[in-house]
Amino acid sequence: MEVNKMFFYKLKWIISCIIISLPFTTSIDYLYQKYLAITLWAVMMWMFELIPEEIVAIMLPVIYLVFGIVKQDVAFNSWVSGTPWITLGGLIIGVMIVKSGLVIRIAYKALLLAQGSLKGVIFGIVVTCTIFTPLIPSVMAKIALLVPVVIGICNVLEVKPKSRTASALILVVFFSLWSPKMAFLTASTDSILTAGILEQYMGIKLSWMSWAKDMFIPGILWMICSIPLVYILKPENLSLSKEYLQNEYSKLGSVSLEEKKTILIIVCVLLAFLTASFHHIPENMIMIIFGGIAFFPKIGILSEDDFKKIQFRVLFFLTGAVTIGDVASEIGITKLIVAFTQPYLSQMSSLELILSIYFFSILSNFLLNPLALIATLMMPMADLCKQLGYSPLVGGYSMIMGFNQALFPYEIAPLMLAYGFGYLKLSHLIKVMALRILVGIVFMVIVTYPYWSVIGLLDK
C-alpha cells in the first residue's frame, strides 16, 4: 500500500513537470512562456495537492516577481484590494458565532419548531443554514459546524452511516449551504473573489444589495430545487422525538450574554449592508469594524486566543490566487484569450452564451477547485462578455452558477469535508449530483435566464 502511494506521488510530480514545461515548446513570446509555466506550476500543485495550497498562493507573487514577469506593485496588488479584508472580517464574525454557541441553539430551535419528522428535520436544517449563509464566508466552517448536528440526530435515530437516509441528510446540509451561497456577496470566498475581480478589472462596484438584486432569487430558488433531489435516494421516514430535541436544547441553558451580544452585532452588520447606499462604507470595512468590536473591552465576545483560531490559510490562498489574474491582465494574456474565443462566441444568442460559459465552468471544475478557477478564468470571461456588448457580470455570474455544480467530492472542498465525516455514500452522492447537473441546465434556461432578462442584466 505504501509502495503504491509513493509510486503515485512520484507520478504526479512527473506529470506536473511535463505539463509545466509545455509552454516552452511553443512559439509564443518568452514572457508569456514564463507566465504560463509558473501558472501551470501553481495549478498542478493545487490539482495534485503536492504542496499546501496556501503555500503555493504565497509563493506565486514572489515567483512572478523573481522571474521578471511583473513589478512588485502588480505582484502584490491583491493584498491592497478589498478581497482579503472582507474575508478576514467574515472569518472573525464566524469565530464569534461559533464561540457564542448561537449556531447550535438556532439549529435545535429550528428542529424543535419543525416537529421532528423527516420533512421537519430537513426544514430545520434548511432554516438554520439559510440564517448563517450570508454571515460566515467559509462554507467549510459552516459544514464543520452543522454536519455534526445531523450526525447526532442520525445516532439518536439509529440511522446507519452511508445509508440512504444518512446520505440524504448530509446532502441536505451541503445543498442548504452550497446552493444559496450565490445569493449573498458575503456568503463565500467564491462570491467575494468574483466581486473583487469584477471591481478591480471591470470597474463594476458590487455592493451587498446590488449582488443580491442579481443573484438572491436564482440562488435561493436553486437551493429550493436542489434539496428535493435527495428524495431519489428514498430515505426512510424519521420520527425525532420532541423530548429529545427539548432535552438537547435545554442543555444549552438560557440565552447567554455572549449570544445576545453576538445577535446584536449580526443585526448591526446586516443593517449596515442594507443601508450601504446611504453611508457608503464598503462591505469589507463593515465586516472588519464589527468583527473588531467583538474584541473590545466590556464587549469581550472574543479574545486573543480566539483570534488564533481563525483559518488564515483561507485568506492567504484567496489573496495569492488573485495574483494570477493581476499578472495576466498586466501582461495582456486576458486580451489574447478574448481575441481567440470572441469569433466563436460572437454569433451566439445571449442564452447560448450563458449556457456555454455555464458548461465550460462545470467541466473546468473537474480539474481545479472553484477559487483557483475564478482567479484564472473569471477576468477573461467577464472581459469577453464586455467585448460582445453584454455586462461583464453576465460572465461572472454564469461562472458562479457553473462552479456550484460537481459530480465527485474532490471537486469542491466543502463537499469533500461533508463526505469525509463518513456518513455519505459515494454512489448516493454521484447519483444525486448527476441529477442535479441535469436539473441545473433546465434551471438556467427557465429560471436564471428569464430572471436576468427581466432585470435588464442581459441588455446590450
Q: Domain-by-domain residue ranges, the chain?
A: 83-312
H/E element holding 9? Answer: helix 2-21
Q: What is the DSSP-derived secondary structure letter of residue 239?
A: B
Q: What Cα–Cα distance (Å) separates residue 65 from each residue in 43, 60, 73, 323, 404? A: 18, 9, 10, 11, 33
Per-residue pLDDT at 116:
61
Helix axis angle, 164-178 relative to 413-420, nearest 10°?
Answer: 150
Query: Are 223 and 180 contacting, i.e. CB atoms less than 8 angstroms apart?
Result: yes
Q: Which letter, b or e, does each residue of 214-249 get, where b requires 16 or more Cβ atoms within 10 Å of its Cβ?
A: bbbbbbbbbbebbbebbeebebeebebeeebbeebb
Query: Are 108 and 252 contacting, i.e. CB atoms less than 8 angstroms apart?
Result: yes
Please say whether the dihedral angle defined by the alpha carbons of residues 172, 173, 178 and 180, taken in this order, is positive or negative. positive
Per-residue pLDDT at 447:
95
**Cα(396)–Cα(325) distance, rounded to whole angstroms?**
14
Per-residue pLDDT at 308:
83
Per-residue pLDDT at 433:
92
Nearest to 435 by CA among 405, 413, 404: 405
Q: Pseudo-torsion of CA 247, 253, 254, 260, nearest 10°?
A: -120
Q: What Cα–Cα distance (Å) separates residue 45 from each residue in 41, 52, 193, 243, 312? A: 6, 8, 21, 50, 20
Q: What is the DSSP-derived secondary structure letter of residue 408?
A: S
**Cα(69)–Cα(41) distance, rounded to whole angstroms?**
15
Q: Is 130 helix (H, G, I), strand (E, B) or coil?
A: helix
Per-residue pLDDT at 149:
73
Q: What is the DSSP-derived secondary structure letter of residue 78?
A: G
Residue 239 has phi, psi (to 5 degrees) of: -145, 85
**Cα(38)–Cα(19) distance, rounded to whole angstroms?**
11
Residues with Cβ within 8 Å of residue 292, at least 6 apart in sequence: 92
Q: Which residue has the cell 522571474?
A: 67
CB atoms within 10 A of CB 326: 25
Per-residue pLDDT at 48:
81
**Cα(355)–Cα(359) distance, rounded to whole angstroms?**
6
- What is the value of pTM for the model shown? 0.70
**Cα(337)–Cα(347) distance, rounded to whole angstroms?**
17
Nearest to 194 by CA among 172, 175, 219: 219
Nearest to 76 by CA among 323, 332, 371: 323
**Cα(227)–Cα(171) distance, rounded to whole angstroms?**
8
**Cα(209)–Cα(186) distance, rounded to whole angstroms?**
11
Query: Are 396 and 381 contacting, i.e. CB atoms less than 8 angstroms apart?
Result: yes
Q: Pseudo-torsion of CA 21, 22, 26, 29, nearest 10°?
A: -50
pLDDT (tens, 9 = 90+) of the chain, 460 residues, equals: 566 778 888 898 999 999 999 999 988 889 989 998 998 898 788 778 788 878 888 899 999 999 999 998 888 887 877 667 777 777 787 778 778 877 777 767 766 776 666 777 777 778 878 877 777 777 776 777 677 777 777 776 777 888 898 899 889 989 988 988 888 887 787 888 888 888 877 778 888 888 989 999 999 999 999 999 999 998 887 666 677 777 877 888 888 888 888 888 888 887 887 786 677 787 778 878 888 898 998 888 888 888 887 777 777 876 777 787 778 778 877 667 666 766 777 778 889 999 998 988 888 777 667 777 787 778 888 888 888 888 889 988 998 999 889 887 767 778 877 887 778 888 898 899 999 999 999 999 999 999 999 999 988 7
Nearest to 235 by CA among 168, 171, 161, 176: 168
Nearest to 95 by CA among 87, 84, 106: 87
Per-residue pLDDT at 114:
66
- At residue 380, what is the residue type? P
CA angle 200, 136, 53 (to 5 degrees): 65
Query: Are 354 and 388 contacting, i.e. CB atoms less than 8 angstroms apart?
Result: no
